Chain A
Amino acid sequence: MYSGRSRKGGGGIRMRNTVIVTKRELGAYFSTPVAYVFLVIFLAAIGAFTFYLGSFFSRSQADLKPFFTFHPWLYLFLIPAIGMRLWAEERKTGTIELLLTLPVSTFQVVFGKFLAAWLFTLLALVLTFPIWITVNVLGDPDNGVIVASYVGSWLMSGAFLALVACLSALTKNQIIAFIVGSAVSFLFLMAGLDIVLGAFRSWAPDWIVDVVASLSFLTNFQLISKGVIDLREIVFFVSMIGIFLFANTAIVDLKKSA
């Protein structure tokens, strides 16, 4: 018997199981072409957007505004691409039964999977460093704003990921997870704009419209990328991650009694 520590353990054990799951998930990204395809497309797309659409050089400004402006729009498609497999694939291949009959709690698995995908997006973000070097070579940018924007971008990617992971747990079809993930991500991204708010204004009281508007990923990200790291925006994204991970856990548990 090797079940010594699996009895009701403390926080250290809980975190250890999460780390083991994270390690396996990260390994899964890199043992298939998924990771490399994603990194290449992400870096190529962000480069193209920054230099062509964002007119990085011709603006003659020493900042990364054209670079960060496109992050939310890239995340709209690339985050569902990373997150769609998290649960849908396990359900399709049946490995979810192997995983969930090991002595781990549902939340440990939910958090471990999320963390793996989130660390992977961190890697993608870190690999954009040449553009930071470029702007520092060419001029004298406000590196505080750039750090704040990177932090904001990573937090936003986490909120998108937690949302997509949660939706992935509802289906065994990765394509459905991707499309629904993109669509719902779009709603959250645009929640502060008329395209979404219009649907509420006609019938909902003002306070509901305000609540919906405050859920906008875009607004919150733009506030951070102005360079002022306000606790409010950080709390916003972290709570979004928390809420979606909680929902994810509930969905996985509910499917057991379905």
Chain B
Amino acid sequence: MADEVLDVRGLTKRFGPLTAVDRVSFAVRKGEVLGFLGPNGAGKSTTMKMITGFLSPSEGTAVVCGSDVAIDPIAVKSRIGYLPEGAPLYGDMTPRALLNFVAEIRGMSKPDRKRRIEEVIDQVHLEEVIFRPIETLSKGFKRRVGLAQAILHDPELLILDEPTDGLDPNQKHEVRTLLQKMAPDKAIVISTHILEEVDAVCTRALIIAHGKLLADGTPEELRARSSAPSSLSVRVAAAQAEQIRGKLRAMAGVGFVEIVGKVAGVAHLTVSPDGGADILARVSEFVRGEDVGAEQILAIPGSLDDVFREITQGRGGH
């Protein structure tokens, strides 16, 4: 496909008896922002290290803009901007010196170098720290320097391993805005375990656990996979929670009822439908009829968190 920037083909990595990444395949096109989701140790970073040529795959390969990382790693690396996990940087250098080093290695001409360094310093707001050694900077600034060196050469493919880790909410927002701004003419892959980030920037999400690709779709598609597509939350008096739970459970169309919490004499019941049944009308009628001190009924849409937990923990849903 013409605008396919990254094509990952059966990527596998074994460390001794452990299979860290198991036959992962996917493709990313220009304009896509792919969220790479998974619990810690799922194989996200290992996959990224193989795409960027830092680790050699045990099997499979990755093709970036037509170049195979196993055959022509230099061509692949010149097209990728990469922020490794934890944003490792040379602590003895200043951000400006580091950016200059990266720009030189990337073969940018002197005027290009000067212009682009100014641009990225402005984009990620490094002005106040450009002459301070990186080792004296806060975690947030370090992360931003790492981001700056990744976008410096305006790469076609941007691979960012937890780009917002350690940033405060304002900084997270800035980084996301920056990614959205760059998205149309790049392919971007970010790994994260912050699910709100997927909603904020990603056009597509992959879920990976134990090295295996388990789900691939838009955030909406993934959300629809939730086993609780529209459960209800019912607020009742704590004293009667157990009794009401029994009655709700006996109702047609109700899958399971869970007491979520009892605080200050009030309990919340989560009522999930069995299959796709619409239980709102029936449950609200029941609650109105009984004098149970029910004060509120809320419909809860399927959340990405639920989907994430269900998929990565291998629960098929209730």
**Chain A residues with a Cβ under 8 A of chain B:** 1-8, 13, 17, 20-21, 24, 27-28, 31-32, 93-98, 100-105, 256-258
User: B80 at interface (Cβ–Cβ under 8 A)?
Assistant: yes
Known interface pairs A3-B79, A256-B55. Does A97 touch B153 (Cβ–Cβ under 8 Å)? no
Q: How far is the CA of A115 from the CA of B110 in the complex (A)?
A: 24
Q: Which of A2, A24, A258 lies at the interface centre, i.e. has the most chain B CB atoms within 10 A of its CB?
A: A2
Q: How far is the CA of A13 from the CA of B106 in the complex (A)?
A: 11
Q: Are B90 and A102 in contact (CB under 8 A)?
A: no
B97 partner residues in chain A, CB cutoff 8 A? 27
Q: Are A95 and B90 in contact (CB under 8 A)?
A: yes
Q: Which of A1, A6, A101 lies at the interface centre, i.e. has the most chain B CB atoms within 10 A of its CB?
A: A101
- List the A residue with the shortest CB-CB distance to B52: A101
Determine how close the nearest CB of chain B comes to the CB of A20; give it in whole angstroms. 5
Contacts A2-B103, A6-B78, A96-B88 given; 6 further ones with Cβ under 8 A? Answer: A7-B75, A27-B92, A93-B88, A98-B89, A101-B54, A257-B55
Q: Are A98 and B84 in contact (CB under 8 A)?
A: yes
User: B49 at interface (Cβ–Cβ under 8 A)?
Assistant: yes
Q: Are B90 and A28 in contact (CB under 8 A)?
A: yes
Q: Are A105 and B54 in contact (CB under 8 A)?
A: no
Closest 6 CB pairs of A and B: A94-B88, A3-B78, A6-B78, A103-B78, A5-B107, A257-B56
A28 partner residues in chain B, CB cutoff 8 A? 90, 92-93
A24 partner residues in chain B, CB cutoff 8 A? 90, 93, 101
- List the A residue with the shortest CB-CB distance to B105: A102
Determine how close the nearest CB of chain B comes to the CB of A74; give it in whole angstroms. 26
Q: How far is the CA of A246 from the CA of B156 in the complex (A)?
A: 33
Q: Are B89 and A95 in contact (CB under 8 A)?
A: yes
Q: Are A256 and B56 in contact (CB under 8 A)?
A: yes
B91 partner residues in chain A, CB cutoff 8 A? 93
A31 partner residues in chain B, CB cutoff 8 A? 92-93, 133
Known interface pairs A98-B84, A257-B55. Does A6 touch B75 (Cβ–Cβ under 8 Å)? yes
Q: Are B55 and A20 in contact (CB under 8 A)?
A: no
User: B154 at interface (Cβ–Cβ under 8 A)?
Assistant: yes
Picked from B107, B112, B149, the residue with its CB within 8 Å of the CB of A103 is B107
Q: Are B105 and A103 in contact (CB under 8 A)?
A: yes
Q: Are A2 and B154 in contact (CB under 8 A)?
A: yes
A105 partner residues in chain B, CB cutoff 8 A? 74
Known interface pairs A24-B101, A93-B91, A95-B88. Does A101 touch B82 (Cβ–Cβ under 8 Å)? yes
Q: Are A8 and B74 in contact (CB under 8 A)?
A: yes
B105 partner residues in chain A, CB cutoff 8 A? 17, 20-21, 102-104
Determine how close the nearest CB of chain A comes to the CB of B291; give it in whole angstroms. 63
User: B268 at interface (Cβ–Cβ under 8 A)?
Assistant: no
Q: Are A1 and B84 in contact (CB under 8 A)?
A: no
Picked from A4, A93, A101, A257, the residue with its CB within 8 Å of the CB of B107 is A4
User: B102 at interface (Cβ–Cβ under 8 A)?
Assistant: yes
- List the A residue with the shortest CB-CB distance to B156: A1
Q: Are B88 and A6 in contact (CB under 8 A)?
A: no
Q: How far is the CA of A256 from the CA of B107 in the complex (A)?
A: 25
Picked from B53, B80, B85, B154, the residue with its CB within 8 Å of the CB of A100 is B53
- List the B residue with the shortest CB-CB distance to A97: B84
User: B276 at interface (Cβ–Cβ under 8 A)?
Assistant: no
User: B119 at interface (Cβ–Cβ under 8 A)?
Assistant: no
- List the B residue with the shortest CB-CB distance to A94: B88
Determine how close the nearest CB of chain A comes to the CB of B158; give it in whole angstroms. 13
A100 partner residues in chain B, CB cutoff 8 A? 53-54
Determine how close the nearest CB of chain A comes to the CB of B142; give it in whole angstroms. 12
Binary CB contact string for chain B from 4 to 33 against chain A (1 if under 8 A, 0 otherwise): 000000000001000000000000000000
In B52-111, which residues have CB < 8 Å from any A CB? 52-56, 58, 72, 74-75, 77-80, 82, 84-86, 88-93, 97, 101-108
A17 partner residues in chain B, CB cutoff 8 A? 105
B302 partner residues in chain A, CB cutoff 8 A? none
Q: How far is the CA of A214 from the CA of B52 in the complex (A)?
A: 43
